[in-house]
A and B are shown apart, each in its own frame.
Chain A
Amino acid sequence: MQNEKCQIPLTMVGEGERVKLCGVNAGRCLQCRLASMGLVAGAEIQVVRNSFRGPFVVKVGNCRLILGRGVTHKIMVE
């Protein structure tokens, strides 16, 4: 499901913005783990905290997740 629009890593998304997840560029293991926590293609994500260093906080549904920088590089959004 890699398409043209799906090229922005989550790292680039600013605080407060809402985006739609479209893919995870990671090993199968991490992909599955993220999926079980609600981060699958099509999920609506709101970035709660992105302070350009250190980890992220995103909101998926009613749940907040902390994502390390390493992970957010791999999450692609549109």
Chain B
Amino acid sequence: MKKITVALAGNPNSGKTTIFNNLTGTRQHVGNYPGVTVEKKEGVCRYQEYEIKIVDLPGTYSLTAYSTEEIIARNFIIEEKPDVIVDILDASNLQRNLYLTTQFMELGVPLVLALNMADVAKARGIKFDLEKLSHFFGAPVIPTVGNRGKGMDELLEAIIAVATGKFKKKHMPINYGKELENEINNIEKIISEKKKNECRKYGARWVAIKLLENDEEVRRLFNSQEVLSEVDERARRLEKLFGDPPEIILADRRYGFISGACQEAVRSTVESRYTMSDRIDSIVTNRVLGIPIFLGLMYLVFQLTFTLGDPPMGWIENLFGWLSEIVASWWPAGSESALKSLLIDGIIGGVGGVVVFLPNILLLFLAIAVLEDSGYMARAAFIMDRVMHKIGLHGKSFIPMLIGFGCSIPAIMATRTLENEKDRLTTILVTPLMSCGARLPIYALIIPAFFPTKLYGPMLWTIYVVGILMAIIMAKVIRSTLFKGASTPFVMELPPYRLPTLRGILIHVWERSWLYLKKAGTIILAISIVLWAATNYPKKSVYEHDYGKMLSSIETEYLNRVGSLGEKLGVTLDPQVMAAILEGDKDALGEISTRKNLLDEIVRMESLIQEAKKQFMTTIEVQGIEEGTAEYRSLQDQLANTLEKIKGNNPKVYDAVIAYLEEIKPQYEERLMEIENQKKAEELAYSLAGRIGHLLEPILRPMGFDWRIGTALIGAFAAKEVFVAQMGIVYSVGEADEESETLRKRLQASYNPLIGFCIMLFCLISAPCMATIAITKRETNSWKWAMVQLVGLTVLAWIITASVYQIGSILEIGFK
């Protein structure tokens, strides 16, 4: 196998990653806006007897780099010297794209030109003379359609032909005209003597041109003052002669060359006209309507997240309920086992609680995929520019922020496209305020627990908008304190709208969903186990109260009451047997011979009453009848009638059964539960999580949080979804009833809507997850900013949440 290294380079958004994915079979991120790829990515393609290493680079407009991701592209091309550079050109916009090509020609690297988006060019009536183009640029020219995989084999053939030297044409250096050529030659001579190595590496002509262009990187390479002042002198002379600095004249000449070539090799039959893109833009980017449309679209997305996400969520919930029943059945009923608790409370309660929200996550990422692929992303940057301008940033910063709706990590990476260091740092620091996908499960858990159905969408939307507003306000604060100074000029390409392909969207969504499940199965599983252990251990052996004694006294009292009930009816039975009969134990009844008729009557009546009540409840539930309505009242009357009729048969027995069903039994069960819960609570408080939670209570109290929420918040620092998992664990470990009531019902019983809102607010603003802090450290290259982000956001979250809770409490907003 022969090895070839190939770099894919070209203007942003020209389709490099699309072609990279085609050639290597990978699924790197593709999107319809400039600056999707910010890191070089490698892949391998085997073709014939060649092993071709392909490197996808970030897009760049020229070899003079202004931003981090452009520097990555430039450095790879210049320093690593790939065997072939495939210049991916947007054929529908050829002249501008060829500008970079002229710079590759100067560098003298082996080139292949891919006329990508050939479909778009064709639709616009642009025709190419491939032979002539190939002649002018000294490289094979291959038309391709990246998103349909057309032209890939031809592209590979061309790569191999160039790499093996079968392709003979060489590109001619562009002639810059007599004066410039003279100076270039002179500088070449000077540096060839002084810096032999560098000249051999990069080519003397290229170095000379870059020095004239005042390229900072190259100047740093040639830190010989002598050479630089010589170059500057010549540059000044040229500037005097032409009235413009040399780099502008060079650019001019390059465009001259390009337009000459295009005049001969490109025919455009259709005049550019008012396209569909323009029509959409005239509405979407309207000065007045732009922001409302943006907010409206957002609202639509969140409404759909709930309405479409709810049914499948119910299915998954049922699935886990069923699963935990199965697992529970492996142990005899009522037995306690650490393994059972780990499986049911820790794993199903924790991880299951997170997986339940997969449908919401799926829908969110579907929306983000459409946003990225359609081309609306760049429009959002345009629309928000006016707002962003007021806070000292510009529209481009809004793109990383929007990506933050998915996940803060790629969002922080995406800030590489910002040229200005201060803009970039500010954007990095505030990006976690954009509510990420991992926080969605928290909202999806809390909102339906505390708010009426019609508020689901609006609540979620409010949280996200609060996030955007906080980010904007914080950016303003940071920009006018930490990072004062002007922002760089805002220049960005506006890509045409493209209909997102179903395949592209599905791949996006699939990748993210898979990632979510993987996260649930690894990190969240691991943390859930740790948190489960922290919530269960150390076990308490000596209790503050003698729960055994308390339980048996409750039992005795119950039996006494049952016994006296029997006596009133005239049956003298062992109270335990009497209780068993009332509890519906058929065997107990069978063993008795005395007063059989009366006992049968009791059992019959009990079942009739229960039947009638059950029917009433199911009707209400199935038809969703609310208390207080006329329908409800009529059903109630109906129930009373039925009961009256039952009573008519034997009022004495009826009264006794009712007393048992409505007083004795529920009171007994309630008190049992109370004691059980008291015991569990004591155990929880003794556990590690409980102790930490209680330690934190002074901090949590002002926000209305109890220690349970506290432990969940600590877990959430590892990954935000853990909040949901830990709430599931605390509540399934901490509650005695085995009936798996949903977590939401339990939350409803323990907190009020104000606390629910405060939980969401705190999770939105507080410290992002560990991974975000790590990426901030990497991208800013300092722990300092990572720590500023961590501490700053957490303190901010505390202040805001505590204020909201305190004010809300005074005004009694959101109490039950």
Please list the residues of chain A having a beta carbon within 8 angstroms of any beta carbon in chain B. 1-2, 23-24, 26, 28-38, 40-43, 48-49, 51, 53-55, 57, 59-71, 74
Docked-complex contact B493 and A64, CB < 8 angstroms: yes
Looking at the assembled complex, report how far the CB atom of B333 sits from the nearest CB atom of chain A, in whole angstroms: 67
Contact A65 B251 (CB under 8 A): no
Report which residue of B62, B242, B277 has the largest number of chain A beta carbons within 10 angstroms of its beta carbon.
B62
Query: Within 8 Å of chain A (Cβ to Cβ): is B489?
Result: yes
Q: Are A42 and B255 in contact (CB under 8 A)?
A: yes
Judging by beta carbons under 8 Å apart, are B95 and A71 in contact? no
What separation, in Å, do the CA atoms of A53 and B394 have in the docked complex?
14
Q: Is B213 an interface position by the 8 A CB rule? A: yes
Whether A57 contacts B62 by the Cβ 8 Å rule is: no
Residues of B within 8 A of A40 (CB): 248, 251-252, 255
**Complex interface: chain A residues within 8 A of B244 (CB):** 1, 23, 41
Query: Which of B99, B389, B494 meets A65, CB within 8 Å?
Result: B494
B243-A1 in contact (CB<8A): yes
Any A CB within 8 A of the CB of B339 = no
Identify the closest chain A residue to B493 (Cβ).
A65
Let me know if B494 and A37 touch, CB within 8 A. no
Known: A61-B93, A66-B492, A68-B394. A32 touches B385 (CB 8 A): no
| Residue positions of B touching A, CB distance < 8 A | 61-62, 64, 66, 92-93, 95-96, 99-100, 124, 213-214, 242-245, 247-248, 251-252, 255, 272, 277-278, 281, 285, 287, 378, 381-382, 385-386, 389, 394-395, 489-496
Q: A31-B247, A37-B61 are in contact. Are A71 and B213 (CB under 8 A)?
A: no
How many A-B contacts if CB must be within 8 Å? 126
- In the complex, the answer to whether A36 meets B62 with C-beta atoms within 8 Å is yes
Q: Which of B124, B243, B248, B490 contacts A55 (CB 8 A)?
A: B490
Chain B residue at minimum C-beta to C-beta distance from A67: B491
- Residues in A with CB closer than 8 Å to B277 are 64
- Whether the Cβ atoms of B214 and A28 lie closer than 8 Å is yes
Q: B61: which A residues are within 8 A, CB to CB?
A: 33, 36-37
Residue in chain B with minimal CB distance to A29: B66
Q: Name B213's closest neighbour in chain A (CB-CB).
A: A32
Chain A residues near B492 (CB, 8 Å)?
65-66
28 contacts between A and B (CB under 8 A): A2-B243, A28-B248, A31-B245, A32-B251, A33-B61, A34-B491, A35-B62, A35-B99, A36-B62, A36-B100, A37-B96, A38-B99, A40-B251, A41-B244, A48-B278, A49-B285, A57-B281, A61-B95, A62-B92, A64-B277, A64-B495, A66-B382, A66-B385, A66-B493, A67-B490, A68-B385, A68-B389, A68-B489
**B382 and A57: CB pair below 8 A?**
yes
Could you tell me the distance between the alpha carbons of A43 and B245 in the complex, rounded to whole angstroms?
Answer: 18
Complex Cα gap A37–B12 (Å): 11
Whether A63 pairs with B386 at a CB distance below 8 angstroms is: no
Q: Given A1-B243, A31-B247, A55-B395, verify A68-B287 contact (CB < 8 Å).
A: no
A67 to B491, CA, bound (A): 5
Q: Which residue of A lies closest to B120 (CB)?
A: A62
- A35 close to B251 (CB less than 8 A): yes
Nearest 3 interchain pairs by C-beta: A68-B490, A36-B62, A35-B251
Indicate if the CB atoms of B95 and A38 lie closer than 8 Å.
yes
Option from A32, A60, A71 in Cβ contact (under 8 Å) with B248: A32
Given A55-B395, A62-B124, A30 and B490 contact (CB-CB distance below 8 Å): no
Kindly list chain A residues whose C-beta atoms are within 8 Å of the C-beta of B64: 32-33, 36
Other A-B pairs beyond A37-B493, A55-B385, 6, CB < 8 Å? A23-B244, A24-B248, A42-B255, A65-B491, A65-B494, A66-B490
Known: A57-B494, A68-B489. A41 touches B252 (CB 8 A): yes
A28 to B495, CA, bound (A): 26
* Complex contacts, B494 vs chain A, CB 8 Å: 57, 64-66
Measured between alpha carbons, how far is A1 from B252 in the docked complex, in Å?
12
Residue of A nearest to B268 (CB): A62
Q: Which residue of A lies closest to B100 (CB)?
A: A36
Whether the Cβ atoms of B285 and A57 lie closer than 8 Å is: yes
CA A68 to CA B245, docked complex, whole Å: 24
Residues in A neighbouring B213, C-beta threshold 8 A: 32
* Least CB separation from B121: chain A residue: A62
In the complex the two chains form, what is the Cα distance from A71 to B243 in whole Å? 21
Q: Is the CB of A66 within 8 A of B381?
A: yes
A48 to chain B, nearest CB (A): 7
Chain B residue nearest in CB terms to A64: B494
Given A33-B66, A37-B491, A68-B491, A54:B251 Cβ within 8 A: no
**A63 B93 Cβ-Cβ under 8 A:** yes
Cα(A22)–Cα(B393), bound, Å: 28
In the complex, what residue of chain A is closest to B394 when comparing beta carbons? A68
For A49, the chain B residues whose CB sits under 8 A away are: 281, 285
Are A70 and B490 in contact, with the CB atoms below 8 A? yes
Given contacts A42-B255, A48-B278, A61-B93, whether A32 and B493 have CB atoms under 8 Å apart is: no
Query: Does B93 contact A71, Cβ atoms closer than 8 Å?
Result: no
Minimum CB distance partner of A60 in chain B:
B96
**Quick one: closest B residue to A23, CB to CB?**
B244
Name the CB-closest residue of A to B287.
Answer: A51
- Residues of B close to A43: CB separation below 8 A: 255
- Given A37-B493, A65-B492, A32-B62 contact (CB < 8 Å): yes
